[in-house]
Amino acid sequence: DTAVSQTPKYLVTQMGNDKSIKCEQNLGHDTMYWYKQDSKKFLKIMFSYNNKELIINETVPNRFSPKSPDKAHLNLHINSLELGDSAVYFCASSQEGTAGGVGEQFFGPGTRLTVL
């Protein structure tokens, strides 16, 4: 059983299009994350939800909108795609305690987005 899954694995699209990436975790965790990995392999957090509440919202263009319909799912919608959005997007989850917690993160396989 896959613990953290993402769909699609690859996404190739034209500039200006709108696309979504979906993430699901079956670990029973209460916190989920989106990260972006650029071409130099640098991993940077974008968003995090704890119990469906947005708790981290980094400096990300507002063309990116996360949505968490329930604790097991976190989706990422991107409007008006630009060339610079090409990257690998990783979803992760962790189980947290109260007041920040100390949970161990587990990552999905990544979605490679290519904008032409």
Partner 1 sequence: GIQVEQSPPDLILQEGANSTLRCNFSDSVNNLQWFHQNPWGQLINLFYIPSGTKQNGRLSATTVATERYSLLYISSSQTTDSGVYFCAVRYSGTYKYIFGTGTRLKVLA
Q: Which stretch binds partner 1 (CB under 8 A): 17-25, 33-41, 60-68, 71-79?
A: 33-41
| Strand-pair category, 111-115 with 10-13 | parallel
Q: Which stretch binds partner 1 (CB under 8 A): 12-20, 38-46, 62-70, 79-87?
A: 38-46
Per-residue tokens: 34: 């989106």
Site for partner 1 in 83-102 (CB under 8 A): 88, 90, 96, 99-102
Cis amide linkage into residue 66, ω under 30° from 0:
no
Site for partner 1 contains 56 (CB under 8 A):
yes
Angstrom distance (rounded) from CA 95 to CA 101: 8
